[in-house]
Amino acid sequence: MNAQNISNENQTLNAQQQSIVSIASLTAIGDLVNLKTQLNAGLATGLTINEIKEVLVQMYAYCGFPRCLNGINTFMTVLEERKTKGIIDVIGKEASPITDVVNKYETGKQTLQQLTGIEEKGPKTGANAFTPIIDTFLKEHLFADIFSRDVLTYQQRELATISVLSALEGVAPQLQFHLEVGLNIGITASQLKQVFSIIEIRIGKHQAEIATDVLSKITDKNP
C-alpha cells in the first residue's frame, strides 16, 4: 500500500459530513428532540438551509413520507426559532434545472451505473424482474429525479442513505448495497467506521454493530 492509499484510508468525515449522518439517522427513527439539536449543529457547521432540506427530502425514499415530513417540520421550527434570535442562516444554492433530453429511466440507469461502477446488462433479475414497476420507480424517481438534484454531491447523498439504513432494523441487504456504492465513489472504510461510531452514539450500539458486520463482509471479500 503506497502513501497515497494510506492517506485516503485514514481520511475522516468533516464536520458537515458528520452532521449529515446525525440528521439522516435521527430522522429515520423519528427522534425529533435530538434531531432538533443536530439540525442546529448542522447549520453551525456551515451546511446551508437548502443542503439540509435535500437531506430531509431524500429521507422519504428510505424511511417514508411520515418520518420525512416530521423532519422537515422540525427543521421549519428550528429555522423560525433561530430567526427570532436574530440568526441569519445561509439559504444556499438551488438545484440546477434539468436539461437532459434523455428519458428519465435512462438517466436513472446511467446514474446507478456510475454509482455502482457496474454496467447493467441482460434481463432483469430478482425483485426488479418480479415487480418491474419497482425498477421503473427506482430508476426514474430515486436515481433520476432525486440524484439529479445537484445541491448535494453523490457522496453526501450516499452518506445520508447509509446513515438511514444503519439506523433502521431489518435492512442489512440494502445497507450492504449502499456501502458498496459508497466505497465505489470514494468514501473510505475508515469514514464508514466513523459513520457507525456516530450511529452508536445517536441510535444505539446494536445497530452500529450490525452495520460494522455488514461492512466487514465487504472488506473481507475485497481486502
25 in a structural domain = yes
Tens digit of pLDDT for each residue in 185-207?
A: 999 999 999 999 999 999 999 99
28 touches 133 (CB < 8 A): no
Count of structural domains within the chain = 2
End-to-end distance of the chain based on CA atoms, in angstroms? 11
Distance CA 187, CA 33 (A): 29
Residues 48 and 120 in one domain: no
- When pLDDT is cut at 50, 70 and 90, the band that residue 4 belongs to is very low
Residues 83 and 170 in one domain: yes
- Cell, residue 214: 455488514
Residues 138 and 167 in one domain: no
Helix 189-202 × helix 172-184 angle, to 10°: 140
- When pLDDT is cut at 50, 70 and 90, the band that residue 101 belongs to is low
Residues 69 and 157 in one domain: yes
167 touches 25 (CB < 8 A): yes
Residues 191 and 82 in one domain: yes
Residues 185 and 113 in one domain: no
Tens digit of pLDDT for each residue in 113-150?
A: 999 999 998 899 999 999 999 999 999 999 999 999 99
Residues 120 and 181 in one domain: no
Residues 28 and 130 in one domain: no
- pLDDT higher for 212 or 2? 212
Average pLDDT, integer, range 167-180: 98
1 in a structural domain = no
pLDDT, position 9 = 60
109 in a structural domain = yes
pLDDT, position 122 = 86
Map residue 118 onto helix, strand or coil.
coil
Residues 144 and 181 in one domain: no
Task: Report the percent of the chain where pLDDT is more than 70.
Answer: 94
Residues 76 and 113 in one domain: no
Predicted TM-score (pTM) of the model is 0.93
Range of the domain at 38: 13-95+153-221
pLDDT, position 89 = 97
137 in a structural domain = yes
Q: 130, 148, 166: which is the final residue of a domain?
A: 148
- When pLDDT is cut at 50, 70 and 90, the band that residue 102 belongs to is confident
Distance CA 107, CA 100 (A): 8
Report the CATH number that the domain containing residue 17 is assigned in CATH.
1.20.1290.10
Tens digit of pLDDT for each residue in 42-73?
A: 999 999 999 999 999 999 999 999 999 999 99
Distance CA 165, CA 39 (A): 19
Residues 56 and 138 in one domain: no
6 in a structural domain = no
7 in a structural domain = no
Distance CA 123, CA 143 (A): 19
Residues 157 and 74 in one domain: yes
**For residue 2, pLDDT beyond 50:** no
